[in-house]
A and B are shown apart, each in its own frame.
Chain A
Amino acid sequence: MKLPISWLKDYVDISGLEVIDLARILTSAGLEIDDIRFAGLPLPSRDDHGFKVSGIAWDREKLVVAEIYEVNPHPNADRLTLCDLFDGKDRHIVLTGAPNLYPYKGIGKLEKPIKVAYAKEGSTIYDGHADGLVLTTLKRAKIRGVDSYSMVCSEKELGISEEHEGVIFLDDDAVAGTPLVDYMGDAVLEVSILPNHARNTNILGLAREVAALTGRELKKPNLDAGLMSALGGQPVTDLVKIEIANPELNPRFTLALIRDVKIQPSPYWVQRRLRLIGMRPISNIVDATNYTMFEIGEPLHAFDYDVLVGRDSISPRITVDATNYAMFEIGEPLHAFDYDVLVGRDSISPHITISTRTATPGEKLTTLDGVERTLTETNVLVCDSAGPLSIAGIMGGAESEVTDKTTNILLEAAAWNFINIRRTANQHSLPSEASYRFSRGVHPALAIDGLKRCLSWMAQWSGGTIAPGIVDNYPLPPKEPTIEIRESDIRRALGIEIPLEQVKGMLERLEFKCDIQPVDNSILDDSNTQISNIEYLAVNPPPIRLDIGTGIVGVADVMEEIARVYGYDNIPETRMADPLPPQRGNISLEREERVRDILASLGLQEIITHRMTAPEIENRLLPSNNESSNIRNSIIEYVKLANYITPEKRVMRRSVLASVLNVVEKNARIAETMQVFEVGSVYIPVGGDLPLEPRRLSIAMTGKRYESAWDSKLGVKFDFYDLKGLVEGLMDALHLSVTYAPAEHPSFHPGKCAAVLLGDKPLGVFGELHPLVAENYDFVSPVLAADFDLEAILPLMPAIGHPVRPVSEFPPVLEDIAIIVDENLPADRAEALIRQTGGKMLESVRLFDVFRSEQIGAGKKSLAYALVYRSYDGTLTDKDAAGIRTRIIKRLEMEIGAKLRS
């Protein structure tokens, strides 16, 4: 919503307030000012005010009102004229090319001087011929042999609008020599209107806020003033009637009639204000409806009355009430009407019936913009007997539009269901100034105000005669809540003490009706004697507001008004006195975060990816030539988006691993080495219920095991055991005693894939990507990856703490043994046997070499272990250690046929 300062001044005196002050006051009260465009008024002197500012100021001396006495042809140029003009002090000959001065060229001295905006030599204005806004300073020059140093301005040159078709013709009240800034200097504030500020989508509403927030008087326009002098002719109530089919959708509909209007351009000040507010002036009649809408907030619609009369005459004259049809249906006896009696009745009854109803599906209407619209059953139409005239509250129909030839105007002001208007406007992509207001909720009381104001503007600008009366059908007035406010309510909600008398004053400035009343003692609890002398404020919202609720909601709504006027900044800050609630913690999240910390401590980079993806992106996890991707397609159900921004993001992901691999691919040529992980949800649909959102952990690593440095050029790449070491590190830090087993998984190399198990419970899988999966990506090096079920892992983490072993004070006995075993023997089998047999005395076992050679024999391998024996009770002797060692070797020989390597 644009707010021109000059227009605001009509309703509230803002003297002493700078434009910037005003912007600040409105912003803190919830009417945020996005930017300010100056069109004449002085720009702020400092630039740390925090608002986006544009536009120009008009120099008081150099830009003044002038009057043109005579328009003469240029001796050397057909398209130029020379204006003989008076600027209040001196006469000048001013050269112009303005087309709207041509008609006056060479006709001699004008009967009535033309008032114009005059820029003297040296003034700074916008270049009217440049694209966009380019400042220029007027300098003396010769144009086709004639001296030129000043000019008559267009709106573009003054920064009022883009208009540059001709120069401005000011209204008659402009006095030559008056500084232009005094006559029409302006600044336009762009106000963001919050959804609950429907009342402020107009200048009067914003003036009311300014008045309330600054403690000034609101000067409301007298709506009846312009009406009485222009009344005449047959009352509209004799000619038109209104039928409303659905009051829920159309709580009020009113009509008025004005005759013998002369369609012509509006006065200049009206045109200027409309342009400043972003509306193109059309004609006095259309402008009057728009002007009134911006002024007081009621959108209006003007019909060409004679078109309606014409439509009516060719349609069936007699309408039989729907209740009569109902009679037939329920089996009432048939009834014979005397047709001529009906025609007679009709001729004395209103000739035009305006009705509102929902459209029948498929019904069509061509709107003002020339587009034929196909309507649905939720769209509300304004109709006459011949059919639809307009889409209610949104846009008029082309047929009944006001044209240059219109003389009689039927003027509509109505109230509509804001939700329905919103739906219809969205459905037809028809945002309009009317629907902008109606879709936020316009109070039905405004309809009459709107009609009156608009009629008086029309009469004033078009010379029409207003038909007496208003046709008013008001089946569903809104509830008028009375809200009771006590000082204790204010203390409870805002934490401040304000006397009711002061609250009353604050609310009355916003036009609430307020009445301080004593509490009825008889209904009070006897035990609570304290309360007996407490008063309350009975508050009624003004008939411009639909946003104030009833009961406790109404109290909250009024609290916001009190807080806004009191000033949010004036409410003191306090610390909560309420007791601290039960401290529950969030174990599941704490554990999830622990996993993140461990992985980061192991050197991994956390990533966070988009959770929207596409099935074909996730299918890259499967070998490309494999049928399994088709199978996956048919098996995996996705949570699908009904609306999506791009097909690549049309479902919610089922795999975090796919997300992680996408990132590795993206970075493949950026980072030579990557170790990344993501913790996050996947989404599994569950019939019509909300989907499951289990968390998963995926890891990927690729690149070099060691960073190369200037003196070490090791190029060893990560392999399975690097990832395994990392997985072991994670499991160790989580204190989970897991085992590893060969696993099969379509994404992984069949020989380089392991499952992580806790007992029988699978926690995850990891390995080297299957070469055919790697082919689906643009990877540079082999990629190792892991995928874990966090929902399985997190509950297994020890709740209290894992048991800690004591540390022995005694020296160890160190010993290495090497055994030769079958190539196929899993190494963890040997280690498990060593540990079991070694018992308590065997402190640690570390595999330090795996060796194969001809000497050992084909199909065999040597495993070398470093053993540490140590006792908690005393120093072990070599003999003690030898005993354990012998048992270990025996056990290995017996169970896995191992041979000690000498």
Chain B
Amino acid sequence: MLEKLNEIEKESLASLAAIEDESALETWRVANIGRSSPVMSVFSQMGSLSKEERPLVGQRANQVKVALEKAFAEKQEAVKQAALARSLATEKLDVTLPGRPVRRGRLHPATQNLRRILDILAEMGFQVYTARDVESDEYNFQLLNIPPHHPAREMQDTFYIDTGETDESRKQVLRTHTSPGQIRAMREFSAANPHNPPPIRIALPGMVYRFEQITARSEVQFNQVEGLVVGENITFGDLKGTLSDFVRRMFGQNAKTRFRASYFPFTEPSAEMDVECFVCGGKGCGICKNSGWLEILGCGMVHPDVLQNGGYDPKRYTGFAFGMGPERQLLLRHKITDIRYFWGNDMRFLEQF
């Protein structure tokens, strides 16, 4: 019996040595250390052995079993390593093939930029106030110090609504700027507390409309973001400081600003703010027409008449307002040469943002 065990061990180990793949290994396992393998059947035959033989054979059988199992485990590991080595050697991808496309949703570039502006302003304490698109002549013009036939009306070509209305104030227009929102906001806030209206710091975003032909350089509609600050101690210095802060957030901490005198009927004094060209850093380039400066926004101290029309006593309150065109900033930043791209919604344009 002991000899048989020796033979079993020898043969089994020999056959194991020849094995190279996992399926043969499994077959070997069943045949050599499985339930009905020769070594296992030795255990089942123990009953037929003499008392003396039994411990010797049992011990030897156990040795053989353990030896075979150990050899199997080693072989199994070797086969696995060999298989891994083979697969690593053969499974080689062309990593330059394109990946499977994933669809990405996007916000319109105008929305993205509008949000950026409003986020910065929000951090500076400006609350967003939204107002309507179709306005009365009164709110769009008259309460902002632009009476009928005033020269300033020529600065903004206007779409009028066909209402059959002849009363000048009740005529309806597509708002030519977001400024009527100034009056709406001031009136709303001052109505709640007419003798002591609260200070104001708001941003007014929205689409505005101009009666112009649609060309590469002019559009009938575009976004505007306006800011309005009203308080008891607001100065032109505050206007400059606030807008320069805004510009540094918007265009980088090194962005420089310059203020030029200008005219808007609803501010006095009025100014244009230029930002040092962020394309060339002020050296002069095609975008800034070699001036090193880009016109970014109009601003000024709120006109006393406008404060009054909003229910804020101009003897007590001062304020400043500013307005900018988000799409213009995009044109400059991305060197977009045709403003029609924005509402044209060609996917080839939108997908670049």
Contacts and interface: CB of A to CB of B under 8 A. Distances in A.
Q: Which of B174, B200, B293 has the most CB of A within 10 A?
A: B174
Contact of A690 (B135, B159, B238, B244): B135
Interface in B262-304: 262-263, 265, 268-271, 283-284, 288-293, 301, 303-304
Interface string B110-135: 11000100000000010111101111
Contacts of B98: 709-710
Given A589-B130, A709-B98, A712-B100, A582 B269 contact: no
Contact of B128 (A496, A581, A586): A586
Interface stretch (A22-30, A394-402, A738-746, A768-776): A22-30
Contact of A197 (B128, B148, B263, B347): B263
A584 interface: yes
Contacts of A29: 260-261
Interface string A162-205: 00000000000000000000000000000000111100000000
A691 interface: yes
B305 A32 contact: no
A649 B209 CA distance: 12
Contacts of B235: 491-495, 574
Contacts of A493: 235-236, 269, 301, 318
A493 B238 CA distance: 10
Interface in B197-231: 198-201, 207, 211-214, 220-221, 229, 231
B165 A610 contact: no
B347 A645 contact: no
Q: Which of A440, A556, A667, A710 has the most CB of B within 10 A?
A: A556
A606 B133 contact: no
Interface in B15-68: none
B260 A568 contact: yes
A639 B240 contact: no
A218 to B, nearest CB: 19
A563 interface: yes
Contact of A50 (B237, B289, B318, B346): B289
Nearest to A687: B163
Given A643-B211, A691-B134, A589 B128 contact: yes
Contact of B129 (A573, A586, A693): A586
Nearest to A583: B127
A677 to B, nearest CB: 9
Interface stretch (A253-261, A282-290, A594-602, A820-828): A594-602
Contacts of B251: none
Interface in A192-228: 194-197
Interface stretch (B2-10, B79-87, B149-157): B149-157
A691 B175 CA distance: 13
B270 A690 contact: no
B220 A641 contact: no
A756 B100 CA distance: 34
A345 interface: no
A575 B245 contact: yes
A693 B236 contact: no
B260 A560 contact: no
Q: Which of A573, A607, A640 has the most CB of B within 10 A?
A: A573
Contact of B134 (A564, A649, A693): A693
A563 B101 contact: no
Q: Which of B110, B260, B291, B346 has the most CB of A within 10 A?
A: B260
Chain A residues touching B, range: 35 or more
A32 B293 CA distance: 14
Nearest to B148: A419
B261 A563 contact: yes
Interface string A547-566: 00000110111011001100
A607 B346 CA distance: 9
Contacts of A51: 291
Contacts of B104: 603
A652 interface: yes
A601 B130 contact: no
A496 B151 CA distance: 32
A597 B232 CA distance: 38
B162 interface: yes
Interface in B165-199: 165, 170, 172, 174, 198-199
Given A576-B241, A583-B127, A710-B98, A645 B105 contact: no
A593 B115 contact: yes
A681 interface: yes
A351 to B, nearest CB: 37
Interface residues of B, number: 101
A572 interface: yes
Given A559-B268, A563-B236, A690-B136, A48 B283 contact: yes
Contact of B345 (A589, A644, A667): A667
Contact of B105 (A572, A575, A579, A600): A600
A584 B189 CA distance: 11
Contacts of A693: 132-134
A496 B105 contact: no
B234 interface: yes
Contacts of A440: 151
B284 A48 contact: yes
A669 B342 CA distance: 19
B257 to A, nearest CB: 9
B132 A607 contact: no
A27 B274 CA distance: 12
Contacts of B283: 48
A666 B344 CA distance: 9
A670 B347 contact: yes
B347 A495 contact: no
Contacts of B290: 47-50
Interface in A596-633: 596-597, 599-612
Q: Which of A29, A47, A492 has the most CB of B within 10 A?
A: A492
Contacts of B128: 585-586, 589
A612 B220 CA distance: 9
Given A50-B291, A571-B240, A573-B240, 18 more contacts: A28-B258, A52-B289, A195-B150, A195-B151, A418-B151, A419-B147, A420-B149, A492-B235, A553-B303, A556-B303, A559-B269, A563-B261, A586-B128, A605-B351, A640-B162, A642-B160, A690-B136, A691-B172
12 contacts: A195-B265, A493-B301, A559-B301, A571-B236, A584-B127, A593-B115, A603-B105, A610-B220, A676-B345, A683-B134, A690-B132, A693-B133
Interface of B: 97-98, 100-108, 110-111, 115, 125, 127-130, 132-136, 147-152, 154-155, 159-163, 165, 170, 172, 174, 198-201, 207, 211-214, 220-221, 229, 231-238, 240-242, 244-245, 258-263, 265, 268-271, 283-284, 288-293, 301, 303-305, 314-315, 318, 342-348, 350-351
The 7 closest A-B pairs by CB, nearest first: A50-B291, A495-B237, A495-B235, A30-B261, A578-B231, A560-B269, A194-B263
